[in-house]
């Protein structure tokens, strides 16, 4: 959407609680991390959004163990040591904050590369500036800005990308790619009427690949500009698609975008779409940006999936106060619905 969805952050070092060197050659389509610390990944195994196999691992941190039984890697802290096992198709890792170095095998929008992904600091003061960039308020450590804005100096920056719908001011661009716009049975574009945005067609592998080159290029641009992460909006476009798109279509496209982000050294956020929180490992996302999760009683669900790496935007004072009281571990901000800039009569900013 062009501004926000009604229902729908340089780098900050955190204390090092665990360092694990794990050999992985990854497309990083399904890495999820959820406690404070640092992880370094890199080396000589293979990973894609569909699963992971490991050719070997070296544990550095004393009581760290690893076993293989298939394609999924699950890692969590268990008291004094950390265990890792493989048994399925995706990866969940029990460490959040700090850095993740990933050996990449490719992805949409750019050449294969090996990059270090920096996760945002948990429970950090942040500001949501997708409606226009301005100097962050004192103390802010994480900011989200539109991909056409420059990142803020000295703090963690998240790049807003509308990855599943067409921005209204980009109609001329998308008219040149009309085959990638979702059409109804009569051939008319399917519109998100709340924001006057045409849905992108993620219904086939071929269309997802073509869209991935475009959106992946925007993600590459975020990295070139100096952002640390991306948030991909309108993941839930399937719910407005007149039944023409499925959850599976959008999850598959998000996997593609997550691989692209990781290949360019960017963390990637799940934006809204609480219905997909049970598919985080498939999405490949690293943290969450959630609008109005206090209003709709969804914040606990996001926290269960992403630990304290949840960045919440509320637009009503009562929901903001509710969040500050009930979820002091999360980063919560009150903004005006237009996400306007200081000097505007509608500008609102408050953090807790």
How far, in Å, are 103, 166, 221, 307, 313 from residue 177 at the CA level? Answer: 32, 11, 20, 39, 33
Give which of 54, 205, 27 is closest to 112, Cα–Cα: 27
For the stretch 186-216, pLDDT in tens is: 999 999 999 999 999 999 999 999 999 999 9
Q: What is the pLDDT of residues 24-44, one digit of tens each?
A: 333 333 333 333 333 333 333
d(CA 205, CA 194): 28
pLDDT in tens, 271-280: 999 999 999 9
Q: What sign does the CA torsion over 275, 208, 112, 229 have?
A: negative
Q: pTM for the complete prediction? A: 0.71
- Dist CA 221 CA 225 (whole Å): 6
Query: For 344, which DSSP code?
Result: S
8 A C-beta contact, residue 236 and residue 273: yes
| pLDDT of 291 higher than 50 | yes
Ramachandran quadrant class, 42 (left: phi over 0; alpha: psi -120 to 50; beta: rest):
left
Mean pLDDT of 2-29: 35
Binning pLDDT at 50, 70 and 90, where does residue 116 land? confident
Given pLDDT bands bounded at 50, 70 and 90, which one contains residue 115?
confident
Domain ranges of the chain: 21-117, 120-351
| Rounded percentage of the chain residues whose pLDDT exceeds 90 | 66
Query: Which fold would CATH assign to domain 120-351?
Result: TIM Barrel (3.20.20)
pLDDT at 310 over 60: yes
Look at residue 123 in the predicted model and tell me its pLDDT: 96
């Amino acid at each position: 959407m062009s501004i926000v969805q009604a229902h729908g952050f340089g780098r900050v070092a955190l204390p090092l609680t665990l360092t694990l060197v794990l050999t992985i050659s990854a497309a990083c389509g399904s890495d999820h991390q959820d406690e404070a610390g640092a992880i370094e990944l890199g080396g000589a195994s293979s990973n894609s959004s569909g699963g992971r196999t490991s050719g070997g691992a070296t544990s550095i941190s004393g009581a760290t163990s690893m076993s293989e039984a298939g394609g999924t890697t699950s890692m969590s802290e268990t008291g004094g040591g950390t265990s890792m096992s493989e048994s399925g198709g995706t990866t969940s890792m029990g460490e959040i904050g700090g850095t993740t170095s990933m050996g990449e095998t490719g992805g949409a929008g750019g050449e294969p590369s090996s990059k270090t992904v920096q996760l945002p600091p948990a429970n950090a003061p942040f500001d949501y500036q997708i409606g226009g960039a301005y100097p962050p308020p004192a103390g802010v450590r994480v900011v989200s800005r539109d991909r056409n804005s420059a990142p803020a100096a000295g703090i963690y920056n998240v790049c807003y990308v509308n990855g599943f719908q067409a921005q209204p001011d980009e109609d001329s661009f998308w008219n040149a790619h009309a085959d990638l716009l979702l059409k109804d049975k009569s051939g008319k574009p399917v519109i998100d009427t709340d924001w006057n945005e045409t849905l992108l067609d993620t219904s086939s592998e071929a269309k997802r690949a073509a869209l991935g080159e475009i959106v992946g290029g925007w993600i590459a641009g975020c990295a070139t500009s100096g952002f640390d992460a991306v948030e991909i909006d309108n993941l839930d476009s399937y719910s407005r698609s007149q039944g023409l798109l499925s959850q599976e279509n959008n999850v598959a496209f998000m996997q593609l975008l997550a691989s692209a982000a990781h290949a360019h050294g960017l963390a990637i956020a799940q934006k809204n779409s609480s219905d997909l929180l049970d598919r985080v490992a498939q999405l490949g996302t690293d943290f969450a940006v959630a609008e109005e999760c206090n209003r709709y009683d969804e914040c606990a669900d996001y926290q269960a999936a992403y630990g304290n790496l949840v960045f919440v935007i509320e637009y009503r004072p009562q929901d903001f106060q509710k969040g500050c009281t009930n979820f002091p571990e999360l980063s919560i901000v009150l903004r005006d619905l237009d996400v306007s800039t200081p000097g505007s009569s509608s500008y609102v900013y408050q953090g807790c």
